[in-house]
Structure 1
Amino acid sequence: MVSMAKNISRKKQAKILRVFRKVHRATGAALFIFFFIISITGLLLGWKKHSGGVILSKSYTGTSTELRDWLPIDSLHTLANTYLLESISKDLSTEIDRIDIRKEKGMVKFIYADHLWGLQLDGTTGKLLHIEQRYSDLIEQLHDGSILDDYLGTSNKQIKVFYTSIMGLALLLFTITGFWLWYGPKRMRRNNTNA
């Protein structure tokens, strides 16, 4: 009787293990390309500050870290747009995504919404310190799926939310099934030894 119960338990564990293996394999096959993209872009994002300015430009230093010495933000904004249009292309959009004030560097970064160009200006003089292509922003958009939201013009980043939800749940599923694929056979061997 005990032997029969252990045999049924063993069969049940083996069945669960087969199901987990199928789920693990199917999920991996279905989402392979996305996991590949996330791993490569995640690696690049982790190294962006150590890429020697290739992925993320270094932050240049302005003349003063005292905000009272700085030009007003609207004046800096006007200068940034002028530099952008004169230095790169008159056809570029001047819509700002964000303004990054680096008080400790005496510098202001202007990051634009509709392209990957960014400018660093001296907060005090308004002098152009650096023009950069923001490859780190492109890599981040690839990493979180928001590049499709930008391309398709979705209203509330729905693709990003869907993509990150699916990939987060898939990673959780991989963790659970992967653990069971490692632990399940050990448990079955231990139960067989005890029998």
Structure 2
Amino acid sequence: MTKNTSRKKQAKILRIFRKIHRITGALLFIFFFIIAITGILLGWKSHSNDIMIPQSYKGSSTNLQKWLPLDSLHKNAITILRDSISTDLSSELDRIDVRKNKGIVKFIFENHYWEIQLDGATGNVLNIGKRYSDLFEDIHDGSILDDTFSTSNKQFELVYTTLMGLALLLFTITGFWLWYGPKKLKNSRN
């Protein structure tokens, strides 16, 4: 293969990579924008002065033997949800976050973004707060569509994260070649 043929082949590959990079970028721009913004917000959630995620308070005891049973705390959290926030909200739990070292239990609900923090020993309310970080996380990974359409196996999240991961991999490869290809082409002329 001659030097001229090799350069033409490298230039053709470079044009193909540029086209793939440009078309993919145009098609997926909005998704990359959403991922970038929500990623930045999630990175800052602990430094948001309780705007995105409620502060964790301290309970009266870190000794688990002094704590109320978890089912009693759960019933208390449901009562507080109904009395203090809304009777219309689902009481289905996403998770229970036990913070022994802080003496608290957080009840985080499934179908909305409310959190109720209780003192593990007394069952008293320490905080009621909205978890916007969970909303941003659901947008970031596409699971908000699974929640919206009540899918059975998080199909939207799987397709979305796979597509975005492959697109990022493609952008990395084509972006590297768009940087390295011209250097290689220039060196082949010398």
Q: Give the TM-score of the pair, scaled to structure 2.
A: 0.99
The match for 1:29 is 26
Q: Report the Cα offset of residue 22 of structure 1.
A: 0.2
The match for 2:135 is 138
Any idea what the Cα deviations from partners look like across 1:37-68, whole Å, max 9, x if unmatched? 00000000000001111111110110001111
The match for 2:50 is 53
1:68 and 2:65 are equivalent in the alignment: yes
Q: Percent identity?
A: 66
Any idea what the Cα deviations from partners look like across 1:141-170, whole Å, max 9, x if unmatched? 000000000000000101000000000000
Q: Report the Cα offset of residue 114 of structure 1.
A: 1.1
Distance 1:125 1:155 in 2: 38
Give structure 1 regions of 4+ aligned residues with deviation exceeding 3 angstroms: none
Q: Could you tell me which amino acid in structure 2 is paired with residue 151 of structure 1?
A: T
The match for 1:7 is 4
What are the ranges of 5 or more consecutive residues in structure 2 without an aligned counterpart? Answer: none
Q: Report the Cα offset of residue 90 of structure 1.
A: 1.2
Q: How many residues align?
A: 190
The match for 1:94 is 91
The match for 1:111 is 108
Distance 1:35 1:181 in 2: 19
The match for 2:38 is 41
Distance 1:161 1:28 in 2: 21
What are the ranges of 5 or more consecutive residues in structure 1 without an aligned counterpart? Answer: none
The match for 1:167 is 164
* CA RMSD in angstroms, aligned pairs only: 0.7
Distance 1:85 1:56 in 2: 21
